[in-house]
A = this chain, B = another copy of it.
Amino acid sequence: MHALELGRAFTLLEPGPVVLVTTHDGHRPNVMTISWTMVVDFTPKFAITTGAWNHSFAALRETRECVIAVPAADQLDLVVGIGTCSGADTDKFAKFGLATRPGRFVKAPLVPACLANVECRVIDLIARHDIVILEGVAAYMDIARKEKRMLHAVGDGSFIADGRKFDRKVQMASKLPALS
């Protein structure tokens, strides 16, 4: 995993991929699958929708830390598996043989098998909509990974991998932060 410039980390969530979110409650780590995410600032800040129905939410609220890990298309069954069992009764890292690595700034673990990881701090909770606002504090990318396609949840039990890419960098230049 190579360090990714923080100013580029919003581009990991901007395309709307399904992601894994890890937490650590002080005793053990957990991981959940989340599709309801949004960029809210280039710095980066992200919003995710989650609440008490997810076992991870208590750790997220109490530690105010998490890692967003972006899986690639070859991790579809991991994404589905993690999303359909609960940390309340399952050690998902053991169940899925998922290796972790310590983060630099947060206790929630990185998932090096993923395409990218972002260490995040919780900076706000909007309880009436179950929205958690996160600030990215470090980001990493596996630049050697062959499978680079992200996955998008449709919400009906199907998932779509990234397809063809189109370059409109010249046309979009006025609307985007300068990326080195």
Interface, chain A (partner B; CB < 8 A): 8, 10-11, 14-17, 35-41, 45, 47-49, 73, 76-77, 80-81, 83-84, 124, 126, 128-131, 133, 149, 152-176, 179
Contacts and interface: CB of A to CB of B under 8 A. Distances in A.
5 contacts: A35-B39, A39-B155, A40-B129, A155-B176, A160-B165
A15 B167 contact: no
Contacts of A165: 154, 158-161
Contact of A15 (B39, B160, B168, B169): B160
Contacts of A169: 156-158
Contact of A157 (B77, B126, B163, B176): B176
Contact of A36 (B40, B126, B173, B174): B40
B172 A157 contact: yes
A157 B152 contact: no
Which of A15, A161, A167, A179 has the most chain B CB atoms closer than 10 A to its own CB? A15
Contact of A10 (B15, B155, B161, B175): B155
A16 B152 contact: yes
Given A83-B172, A154-B14, A179-B156, A39 B40 contact: no
Contact of A152 (B129, B152, B156, B171): B152
Contact of A38 (B8, B47, B76, B84): B47
Contacts of A126: 126, 129, 131
Contact of A80 (B124, B153, B156, B168): B168
A153 B175 CA distance: 12
A36 B41 CA distance: 9
Contacts of A38: 36-38, 47-49
